[in-house]
Structure formats: structure tokens, C-alpha cells
Amino acid sequence: MKNIKIKCPAKINLTLEVLNRRADGFHNIKSVMQLISLYDFLNIEIGHANSNKIVLSGNSDEIPYDERNLVYKAADLYLKEVGINDCEIKIYIEKNIPISAGLAGGSTDAAGVLFGLNQLLKVFDEEKINELCAKLGSDLNVCLNGGCVLATSRGEITKSLPVAEKAVSLIKPKYLGISAKEAYTKYSEKSYKPQNNMTEKLIEALPSNNIEPFLYNDLEYAVFDDYIELQEIKKSYPNAIMSGSGSTYFVLEDIKQSKLNKDFLLINNLHFIKTGTETA
């Protein structure tokens, strides 16, 4: 039996600009994504079996522990790519990143599985693991490689950027999750679509560390009017910006005491990190 523990960081979108809808149903985007010091942990064990078997478990009652989970799909994809058919994989998911939150919790765990299995079996090079990440979803490559990243196409094409030194606090409505499908659909339905080019402006500002004026998210614009919870966050924290498709907002400071009631989760004492998925 081989085993490994993997550290899987959350991401926030410093910018997210939607360019157009693709023929495959996804959207082309340009986004500056930043990995932060909030982590899920995976305990991965590999053993021998008569046929392939993937067993998931964890500490959360909000995610499925079967083939619907992106972690399962990542393990299954890795086994198929390697050509292994006599392996049992057990994965325990310690969930600390909120789900349906715009923080890439599912994507970072899936990237962690591909990274972790390859650390144990040492079959593929880094380029191949990135290729497998791109097959599974839009944010996996960002989570795998880490730091600050310009993500384009549907998010799987990445370019490393300088990492600013910033504290981060997250504010999430406890009872509201917004799916990417909902957010992108509502953006498509908007008659007016802003063209602010904030991504380029933020990239230019990264070396100076003065990025706050250029934080921006098209998907916040798409869903903001539909949810009183988002409006309450913005009222209490005018500088807060939504991450991904939401419903999490972030501010680039360490908030010690929340201005909101118990229906909102505050996660503080976080910071930007230069790493991605790695061994714990």
C-alpha cells in the first residue's frame, strides 16, 4: 500500500471578463486568478485489487462520494490513461473550502488527485498532468500550477504572473450557492455587456502591488441584482468583489470582526500564495 497527503489550495478571481460563448457551450474568458492559503487536504492510498476500484470518503455531508465527484473522475481518468486495471484507490477528502462558492474547491481537489497519483506512480511528466487537468475542467490547471495566473480560453490556458503581497478575507452567504451554469447563462442574457479591460490594467499594476482599483468580475454583474445576500455583502464591504460564479466575495484585507450577521461565513487570516497543488 502506497499513500500520500496532498494540499489543495482555493483560488479567487482578481478579474473575470467574459469574452464570448463558444461552440462547445463554454465561454471564452480572460481572468487573473490567484491561489490563496485556504486548503482542502487529500489522503490518497493505492493498493492492489482484482479490478480497478475507487473509494471516496470525507468530512463533508455536502458532496457526493461516488462517480459524480470530480475527484472520482480524476482518479478514473488517471487509471485509464496509464492503462492500469488492478488497482484500488482510496481517497479521503478533508473539505475546508466551501462548495458552490467560486473558489474552485472541486477543481483543486481533482487537480490534487492527478498530482498525487502521479507522485506515487511517477508515470507522466508535468505537461501530461496539465493535459489531463484540461480534460476535466476549466480551473484545474490554475490550481495545479498555482501562484498568480492569467487564464484564457475557457480557463485551461494559463500564464504565470507576479504574485502580489496581499492579505485576504472571504465572505460567503452560508445558505447560498451559485452554479457556474446559472451565472454564465444570466450574463449571456444581459443586453449590455461591459468592456472594461480590467485584466490588462490589473496585470500592469501587479509589480506595484496596487491592484485594488482593478478588481472586477463580469459574473458579479450578471447575478448581483437577483440575490439580496450579495447586496448585503456589498453594502457592508463596498470594496468586496465576487470570486468566480460566487457566492463568495473577497476583500484584500484581514477582517477581524464581521459586519454581517450569523448567516454569513467569514474566513479571515488568509494571504496570496506562490504555490499550487503540492505534497502536504
- Helix axis angle for 70-82 and 105-121, nearest 10°, is 30
Catalytic residue among 7, 11, 95, 172: 11
57 - beta bridge partners? 92
| Through-space distance between the first and last CA atoms of the chain, rounded to whole angstroms | 18
* Cα distances (Å, whole numbers) of residue 174 to 8, 94, 106, 239: 22, 19, 18, 20
AA letter at 7: K
Known catalytic residue at 11: yes
Q: How far apart are CA 18 and CA 174, in angstroms?
A: 27
240, 251 in Cβ contact below 8 A?
yes
Catalytic residue among 30, 40, 109, 139: 139
Q: How far apart are CA 134 and CA 157, in angstroms?
A: 8
Catalytic residues: 11, 139
